[in-house]
């Protein structure tokens, strides 16, 4: 079996194989205990509710004998429906959608790659699999670091040699004993001597040891927090509609080059929910949904010069309590 050939043909950038003995539940427990002590409890439900599975990946899957970790990057879509969102006219508030959203949904791309690898392993005798692309309680970043695929960057992401931080991880548990295979990491610029990513974050969402303070992260605010935004949250969110690449795009090794998509927030707020839902269908932005996009657009309008007159106008056409409460929270100078 030529696993390297299977991975390369499937579209993998880098890969590694771990066996159960290489993963320390004690290390993982300490990692998540520290993460929770930073005030992150309740921010991500999949962590709070599945901690036992996260700290013992193989124990939760006693049938698995090997774990394949992959690094991949979805293809950019030249015809993304997001490109049909209203463009800024220069007369109103502008919102930003992170450039990676213009690529194929990484869940879809990663699952397709892992399905191809699964087919190759099935031909070699494997019969049981579990595919994970940010869809199961799997500590992908920790596993990637243990496997030598990357290092922990100060922005809490995994930095991969030759690609920077804007990559995605996938995991494939399999009931076949695969030869252990680790990656290697060599960097021209050391993270400790750079720290651009930590300094770039407008909300100072990373602690000195590289732990993400989840509730301060613009990406989390934009798509994970489902309630209305207070005025303080709106100011912290800024003009973000979905995602944030500030701390990853400034990495000296970044090779992605995706530019944020700029959107006319006033026009977006005036769009029907059905039309907005149609435009984001099948994209990564669909995770947030039309209500959060409109809520975030309302915040962008407010912090970029919302007026009592505009507040009244938008409340008159608003049919979402979350968006309306966000608009009512505006403060005027």
Calculate the alpha carbon distances from 179 to 3, 19, 61, 306 in Å.
9, 9, 19, 60
> pTM of the entire structure?
0.92
Q: Look at residue 45 in the predicted model and tell me its pLDDT.
A: 72
* Two structure tokens written together for 333: 């100078």
Longest dimension (CA), the chain: 68
145 membership: H or E segment, kind and range: helix 140-146
Query: Using one digit for the tens of pLDDT, what is the confidence trace for 244-283?
Result: 999 999 999 888 878 999 999 999 999 999 999 999 999 9
- Do 283 and 248 fall within a single domain? yes
Q: Look at residue 79 in the predicted model and tell me its pLDDT.
A: 93
Domain boundary among 166, 192, 218: 192
- Do 66 and 135 fall within a single domain? yes
Q: Look at residue 136 in the predicted model and tell me its pLDDT.
A: 86
- Do 186 and 200 fall within a single domain? no
Q: Give the Cα-Cα-Cα angle 22, 35, 165 (nearest 5 degrees).
A: 70
- Do 112 and 246 fall within a single domain? no
- Residue 183: name the closest of 71, 74, 72, 64 by CA: 71
Residue 60 lies in a domain: yes
Residue 162 lies in a domain: yes
Domain boundary among 169, 192, 215: 192
Q: What is the CATH number of the domain that holds 26?
A: 3.40.109
Domains in the chain: how many in total?
2
How far is Cα 314 from Cα 71, in angstroms, rounded to an integer?
A: 43
Do 324 and 318 contact (CB within 8 A), yes or no?
yes
- Do 223 and 265 fall within a single domain? yes
Calculate the alpha carbon distances from 135 to 111, 118, 130, 178, 333 in Å.
10, 17, 11, 23, 44
- Do 138 and 216 fall within a single domain? no
Residue 87 lies in a domain: yes
Residue 167 lies in a domain: yes
- Do 239 and 321 fall within a single domain? yes
Q: Look at residue 135 in the predicted model and tell me its pLDDT.
A: 84
Residue 209 lies in a domain: yes
- Do 7 and 138 fall within a single domain? yes
- Asked whether the CA dihedral 241, 242, 246, 249 is positive or negative, the reply is negative
Task: Catalogue the long-range contacts made by 231-234 (C-beta closer than 8 Å, 24 or more residues apart).
Answer: 231/302, 231/329, 231/330, 231/331, 233/299, 234/299, 234/302, 234/303, 234/326, 234/329, 234/330
- Do 152 and 119 fall within a single domain? yes
- Do 279 and 148 fall within a single domain? no
Domain boundary among 136, 158, 192: 192
Do 248 and 254 contact (CB within 8 A), yes or no?
yes
- Do 202 and 245 fall within a single domain? yes
- Residue 67: name the closest of 149, 110, 151, 131 by CA: 131
Polymer length in residues for the chain: 333
How far is Cα 135 from Cα 173, in angstroms, rounded to an integer?
A: 13
How far is Cα 293 from Cα 264, in angstroms, rounded to an integer?
A: 12
Q: Look at residue 23 in the predicted model and tell me its pLDDT.
A: 94
- Do 109 and 253 fall within a single domain? no
Residue 294 lies in a domain: yes
Do 69 and 149 contact (CB within 8 A), yes or no?
yes
Residue 251 lies in a domain: yes
Query: Using one digit for the tens of pLDDT, what is the confidence trace for 67-125?
Result: 999 999 999 999 999 999 999 998 889 999 999 999 999 999 999 999 999 999 999 99
Residue 333 lies in a domain: no
Range(s) of the domain holding residue 284: 81-102+194-328
Q: Residues 303, 309, 313, 315: what is their CA dihedral angle, to the nearest 10 degrees?
A: 60
* Two structure tokens written together for 132: 């994970």
Q: Look at residue 49 in the predicted model and tell me its pLDDT.
A: 76
Q: Which residues of the chain have pLDDT under 50?
A: none
């Amino acid at each position: 079996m030529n696993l390297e050939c299977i991975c390369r043909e499937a579209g993998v950038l880098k890969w590694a194989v771990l066996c159960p003995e290489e993963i320390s539940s004690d290390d993982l427990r300490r990692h998540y205990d520290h993460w929770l002590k930073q005030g992150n409890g309740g921010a991500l439900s999949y962590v709070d509710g599945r901690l036992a599975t996260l700290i013992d990946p193989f124990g939760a899957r006693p049938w698995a004998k090997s774990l394949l970790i992959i690094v991949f990057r979805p293809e950019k879509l030249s015809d993304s429906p997001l490109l049909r969102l209203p463009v800024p006219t220069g007369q109103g508030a502008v919102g930003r959608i992170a450039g990676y959203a213009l690529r194929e949904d990484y869940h879809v791309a990663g699952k397709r790659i892992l399905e191809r690898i699964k087919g190759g392993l099935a031909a070699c005798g494997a019969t049981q699999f579990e595919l994970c692309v940010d869809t199961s309680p799997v500590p992908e970043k920790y596993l990637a670091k243990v496997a030598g695929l990357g290092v922990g960057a100060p922005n809490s992401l995994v930095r991969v040699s030759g690609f920077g931080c804007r990559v995605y991880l996938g995991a494939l548990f399999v009931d076949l004993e695969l030869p252990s295979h680790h990656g290697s990491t060599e960097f021209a610029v050391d993270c400790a001597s750079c720290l651009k990513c930590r300094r770039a974050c407008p909300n100072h969402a990373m602690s000195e040891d590289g732990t993400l303070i989840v509730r301060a992260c613009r990406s989390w605010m934009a798509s994970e927090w489902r309630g209305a935004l207070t005025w303080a949250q709106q100011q912290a969110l800024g003009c973000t509609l979905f995602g944030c690449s500030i701390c990853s795009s400034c990495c000296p090794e970044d090779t992605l080059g995706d530019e944020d998509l700029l959107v006319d927030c006033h026009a977006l707020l005036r769009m029907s929910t059905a039309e907005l839902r149609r435009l984001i269908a099948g994209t990564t932005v669909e995770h947030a949904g039309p209500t959060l996009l409109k809520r975030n657009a309302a915040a962008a309008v407010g912090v970029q010069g919302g007026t009592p007159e505009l507040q009244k106008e938008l409340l008159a056409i608003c049919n979402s309590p979350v968006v309306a409460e966000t608009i009512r929270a505006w403060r005027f100078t």
